[in-house]
Amino acid sequence: MTPTPLNRSLGDIAIVLGTRPEIIKLAGIIRELGPRARVIHTGQHWDDGMAGQFFRDLGIGQPDRTLTSVSGAVRGVQIGSGVTELTEHFRQHPVAAVIVQGDTNSTSIGAQAGNYLGVPVVHVEAGLRSFDRGMPEEINRLVVGALADLHCAATPENAENLRRENVDAHRVVITGNTVVEATELARQQGAHEAAHLIGAETVASGYILTTIHRPENTDTAPALERILATLAQSELPVVFTLHPRTENAIQQFGLERYLDLPHVTVLRGTGHADFLALAAEATLLVSDSGGVQEEVTVLKKPLLVVRRSTERPESIRAGFARLITPELELAEAIHEALADKEAAARLRDTPSPYGDGQASKKIAEAARVLAAR
């Protein structure tokens, strides 16, 4: 097949995504680009609860193209086969630029396929670094950092990380993080109130909202049981939004007893707006999610980050989050957080370090300028 002729100033701009957080954070950019946006879903998150539901909820329609070689494969196969399939798509149907976000396997797939064909690559949420090469996400960040033509850094610290890696200053722009507008928009979309989702009594008593999914917390029984056993002894009711990876691990390790407790409410397939409604009413959040570390700065809520390291130190320095590594006692950290009666007032007056809610507009315009070159 002969490749489609391309006028770079008018050609499609590909938005390559594959996971729930990418859909949420790129939706605003897709809306800003309008008909120029060609949305390509890698299939990394392939079921309706992890992907399809979010396209519908965010009002951005279904993807223009979905890859068939990625879903369910191990990491190396996902990236290798995804790059091959996406490269062939771009050869047959050229694009003027490629936008990727964050640090997933899909991010690496999009950046590699674009760069190897000489298509300019825009990296949204560029410059995050945990300095922990044991995290698969850190390797993806480093790979995409080497390939991107334009680095859209959310914060000055992210931009400084890129400067230390000798990225040319003219290729870095500080845009803020699209999570700010995504969070604000989701809260305006008429989600169920927390009381409707978990009951007025639980809301009135106060509760801990938990979401866990990273391999370091789910791939071994001791790591997962550490978290579940601590939450089982919590001073407050626990609302657990259960990720499919975590549910599979709980079943594999025979840990179901920790969910079958009177003070534990388990929710599956929670939409983004509903999750934020729950987070806005929670007394405390416990999570290993990168996106949640950002969202709490908009919602003004305290968070315990259960991980070895974090690429979002801004949330910690601003006072919204505390890193709880395996060497620290999670139960003690929960008790201390709940005992801090001044936290709500302190966080309410603390600005988010992730920008003013204009990131999607800034990134879309920067992508149009790059695509026209």
Do 146 and 23 reside in the same domain of the chain?
yes
Report if residue 84 sits inside a domain.
yes
The pLDDT score that the predictor gives to residue 1 is: 44
Report if residue 183 sits inside a domain.
no
The pLDDT score that the predictor gives to residue 72 is: 82
pTM for this model (two decimals): 0.90
Do 92 and 221 reside in the same domain of the chain?
no
Do 331 and 262 reside in the same domain of the chain?
yes
Report if residue 142 sits inside a domain.
yes
In this structure, the chain runs to a length of 373
Q: How many domains does the chain have?
A: 2
Do 34 and 173 reside in the same domain of the chain?
yes
Q: Which residues pair with 265 in a beta bridge?
A: 239
pLDDT < 70: residue spans in the chain: 1-10, 45-59, 190-191
Exactly one of 213, 243, 272, 335 is catalytic; name it.
Answer: 213
Do 129 and 275 reside in the same domain of the chain?
no
**What are the pLDDT digits (tens) for 297-329?**
999 999 999 999 999 999 999 999 999 999 999
Residue linked to tokens 């590699």:
112
Report if residue 7 sits inside a domain.
no
CATH of the domain at 160: 3.40.50.2000
Do 255 and 337 reside in the same domain of the chain?
yes
Report if residue 279 sits inside a domain.
yes
Report if residue 21 sits inside a domain.
yes
Q: 49: domain range? A: 13-178+357-371
Q: Is 213 a catalytic residue?
A: yes
Burial class (CB in 10 A: 0-12, 13-18, 19+), 117: middle
Tell me, what amino acid is at 183?
Answer: T
Q: Which two tokens stand for residue 116?
A: 């190897």
The pLDDT score that the predictor gives to residue 373 is: 86
Do 284 and 152 reside in the same domain of the chain?
no
Do 199 and 309 reside in the same domain of the chain?
yes
Report if residue 1 sits inside a domain.
no
